[in-house]
Amino acid sequence: MRHQPKDAVRLTVDEATRLGEGALRAVGYDAEQAQVICAHLVDASCCGYAFAGLPRILEIAEDKRLNEPRRPLKVVHETPVSVLVDAGNTIGYYAVYKGTCMAIDKARQSGIAIVGVYDSALSGRNAYYVEMIARENLVGLQFSSAWPVVAPEGGKRAMLGTNPVAAAFPTGKDPMVIDIGTASIMRGEMALRNRLGESLPEGVAIDSDGNPTLDPAAAIAGSVLAFGGRDRHKGYALSLMIQAFGVVAGAAIPHGRARDYGHLIIAFRPDLLTPLDQFKGHVDQLIAEIKATPTRDGVEAVRIPSERSFREREVARREGFSVDSKVVEGLKNLAAGRKAH
């Protein structure tokens, strides 16, 4: 599900970066943090995920947790193949990026690495981090649990996060990246629709009484549903699994809440099992065979996850991308020291 701006302004990558970094600096992030956060957001916009791009800065500026005191990242436990990081309420876009860099460094040295990052909200697209890993000729996995916004199957109260899982594999060309949220709609898209006064799709949320709703404000007060439609129990089970992986990453350590933010990052060298070139060739073969599948009527081609995003990214880097005019106005206000709206 991808939100598309209606009343849009076209920005180049450089224009979007200056706008985003300026707004982030104005709300309290230093130059390095603003650069890391904004690079992620601009890349999300380039890849076609408007809700996960620059609009997130408006949410960052208003997030009560992110406006509480922050502490520098601290390694609390380390072995040759693992690191546990207390992010000190530092935003996830920065903390998980740093954790991913640690995972890459350790995997290069030891062949495999497991990194946990806790006390860190809002980390964006897991695809961004596992792609970083795969471009270093490593296999990457990431599980991110979060503060509850999703109801368990049959329940009417939010008990789980949107809880995405992602994996990336190096190939002979671009990595194959798979990133799946276990909720019917991501929190960022719901927040953007609420900001813009747009309705939700059917079947993705309930209000506080457990009734289906198309109103994003009612859904924010209520709960999102797990993905899966008639098989929603499968999305719920995956979400619960990822919440437990968040506990492995330390989610419950700072506040004693297992239902909180935890990011588990795994990176390893394929040649622990299969020579790298052989592995990449076999993944290339797998992709080619999948794409050669005969298509059903009305289907132009079988696509591979991340294929569309990479294609849109290349176009956007040359030609720019669209951002809702209300979002652009809000970011300019932030950068000028005013409220977003």
Strands (DSSP E) contained in 119-251 are 139-145, 150-151, 165-169, 176-180, 205-206, 223-225
Sign of CA dihedral 260, 63, 98, 13: positive
**pLDDT(188) > 80:** no
CA-based nearest residue to 87, from 120, 55, 116, 128: 120
Q: Rounded to an integer, what distance in angstroms lies between the CA atom of residue 51 and that of residue 33?
A: 21
Q: Which residues contact 18 (CB under 8 A, 6 or more apart)?
A: none
CATH number for the domain formed by residue range(s) 71-293+299-306: 3.30.1370.60
The predicted model scores a pTM of 0.92
pLDDT at 6: 66
DSSP assignments along 14-72, one per residue: HHHHHHHHHHHHHTT--HHHHHHHHHHHHHHHHTT-GGGSTHHHHHHHH-TGGGS----
pLDDT at 186: 82
Distances from the Cα of 339 to the Cα of 8, 279, 304, 329, 336, angstroms: 21, 51, 41, 10, 9
pLDDT at 316: 98
pLDDT at 3: 54
Q: Rounded to an integer, what distance in angstroms lies between the CA atom of residue 189 and that of residue 130?
A: 22
**pLDDT(1) > 70:** no
Q: How confident is the model at residue 34 (pLDDT cuts 50, 70, 90)?
A: very high
pLDDT (mean) for 103-130 = 97
**Using only C-alpha atoms, what is the Rg of the chain?**
20
pLDDT (mean) for 267-285 = 98
pLDDT at 5: 60
3-class SS of residue 73: coil
Q: 92 phi and psi, to 5 degrees?
A: -65, -35
pLDDT at 309: 97
Q: Which residues contact 258 (CB under 8 A, 6 or more apart)?
A: 243, 246, 247, 251, 252
Neighbours of 242 (CB within 10 A): 25
Q: Rounded to an integer, what distance in angstroms lies between the CA atom of residue 229 and that of residue 153?
A: 11
Q: Across the chain, what does the average pLDDT equal?
A: 95
Mind listing the pLDDT tens digit for each residue in 210-248? 999 999 999 999 999 999 988 999 999 999 999 999 999
CA-based nearest residue to 207, from 215, 198, 197: 215
The domains of the chain are located at: 71-293+299-306
Mind listing the pLDDT tens digit for each residue in 162-178? 999 999 999 999 999 99
Answer whether 114's CB lies under 8 Å from 264's CB.
yes
Answer whether 239's CB lies under 8 Å from 151's CB.
no
Q: Rounded to an integer, what distance in angstroms lies between the CA atom of residue 293 and that of residue 296?
A: 10
Mind listing the pLDDT tens digit for each residue in 40-87? 999 999 999 998 999 999 999 999 888 899 999 999 999 999 999 999
**pLDDT(274) > 70:** yes
**pLDDT(331) > 80:** yes
Q: What share of the chain is helix, strand, coil (3-state, %, to 5)?
A: 45, 20, 40
Mind listing the pLDDT tens digit for each residue in 316-330? 999 999 999 999 999
**pLDDT(4) > 80:** no
Percent of the chain with pLDDT over 90: 90
